[in-house]
Amino acid sequence: MTEASLAQLLRTSPEAPEGQDARAWETARAILLQEPAAESAETLPPLLLSGLLEALVLERRTGPIEAMASSPHKATAKAARRAQYRLRSAGVATRSPSPVPAVAPPEAEAPAELPSLLSPPDGSGESVLIVAQGVKGGLLLHEVVLSDEAGLVGYQALSGSRHAWRRSLRDARAEPLREISLDEARGLLAFALARNTATHAGLPKGADAMLQRLSVQPATTPPPPLPVPEDADAALALRGAELHDEPELRSWLPPEDELQRLAQAVEELRTSPLALSPQQRAEQMQERVRAMAVAFFTPERAALYARRLWLTADVFERTGRPRAAQLARAEARRLFHQAPGVFSGFAEALYGKLLRHVSPVGAGEAGAAQPEAAAVGPQERRTKGGLILP
């Protein structure tokens, strides 16, 4: 039976012809007579669907055809669009189905942010920052050396696995390393990059690409100031020299040119022709050390060392040394805000701790063997003035 004969029978016979399903025939007749919704045509066999569309075209019935052309059932929609084409060819206007809005694919979840690791600053203001980024097949680790004076001074890219990084994070809890967020890491890099810009210092190889990957731009404002000094800070500052007994601060020294000046002062007193007692020479040496420390700690340098102490206080806190943490924060607040009154015990001891290793400055010969000199090992560093560098 052809489409044309089926179309004719649909228009005239309520009974299903031989070979046609009675229920499907009833549905097709109902659509033709506008009783149910045209979407029910999706259940019709292909040949009966074609016969129904043929009947609708003959009767110029555009409504049901348009409804079927919008069907999500591909076979029904395709057959209905062919019927629409025939109607248009015959001069009958018919609306094309509205395009089904594309369903946007679900946005891929952003990869979980990985924490970064930061070391405390050393005596020259350098610290190590390790930033982890997820890449295909593992992690890309950005190991950056930051200087609070020069900015970003070292960089290398390393590869690693997430498992190894999680282990590193666990191990960091027992080390001076501190876990920070990616946003904090970006902030540190931004401040460091601003120092590079201010000092016209070039970036290490590969650092520029790393900064682009992390979307880091130079900071336009300075880091926030430290808290103002508290009432008890002045009394704590009298014990500031004790901070140099902590392992993290034992290697903190003045810059190299300051060490040379201090060594020269020691040598001058050692060879001075003045008839001074050892006690008087020791007092003079202490006075010179204090004067050098006062001259060295300008407001700018004091702010640098204050921030170093503030970060180191966190290490003391996390490693069960609350007394040292309290003392470091007190010194940091006073140094940063140039608090009046007693001079920083920490600042003076930065120079004075070297005198512990100097042979007694007496009236004897400069080259005479002294107890401390005899104990100097071959691997120890000494200045020309007899200072043994820690």
pTM of the complete model = 0.63
130-174 pLDDT, tens digit each: 999 888 878 899 999 999 999 999 999 998 888 888 888 888 766
Does residue 286 surpass a pLDDT of 50?
yes
299-346 pLDDT, tens digit each: 999 999 999 999 999 999 988 999 999 999 999 999 999 999 889 999
Beta-bridge mates of residue 139? 134, 160
CB atoms within 10 A of CB 105: 6
Does residue 264 surpass a pLDDT of 80?
yes
Q: Which of 178, 180, 142 is nearest to 159 (CA)?
A: 142
Q: Which of 295, 293, 268 is nearest to 358 (CA)?
A: 268
For residue 386, the model assigns a pLDDT of: 40
- Long-range CB pairs of 143-147 (<8 Å, 24+ gap) are 144/189, 144/192, 144/207, 144/210, 146/188, 146/189, 146/192, 147/192, 147/195
Beta-bridge mates of residue 156? 143
CB atoms within 10 A of CB 235: 10
* Rounded-to-integer distance, Cα 341 and Cα 331, Å: 13
Q: Is 235 helix (H, G, I), strand (E, B) or coil?
A: helix
Residue 28 is inside which H or E element, if any?
A: helix 22-32
* Rounded-to-integer distance, Cα 333 and Cα 374, Å: 41
For residue 390, the model assigns a pLDDT of: 47
Does residue 193 surpass a pLDDT of 60?
yes
**Radius of gyration from C-alpha coordinates of the chain:** 42
For residue 170, the model assigns a pLDDT of: 83
Crossing angle (nearest 10°) for helices 322-336 and 299-318: 160
Q: Which residue has the higher pLDDT, 239 or 41?
A: 239
Q: In whole numbers, what is the pLDDT of the chain averaged over residues? A: 82
Q: How many residues does the chain have?
A: 390
- Which residues are within 8 A (CB) of 150 and not within 5 positions of it... i.e. 6 or more apart? 195, 196, 199, 201
Residue 2 CB-density burial (10 A; 0-12 exposed, 13-18 middle, 19+ buried): exposed
Q: Is 349 helix (H, G, I), strand (E, B) or coil?
A: helix
Beta-bridge mates of residue 297? none
Query: Quick one: average pLDDT of 243-256?
Result: 93
2-46 pLDDT, tens digit each: 777 877 887 888 888 887 888 887 888 787 777 556 667 777 888
* Rounded-to-integer distance, Cα 116 and Cα 89, Å: 69
Q: Count CA within 13 A, CB hemisphere, residue 21.
A: 11
Asked if 367 and 248 count as a contact pair (C-beta separation under 8 A), the reply is no
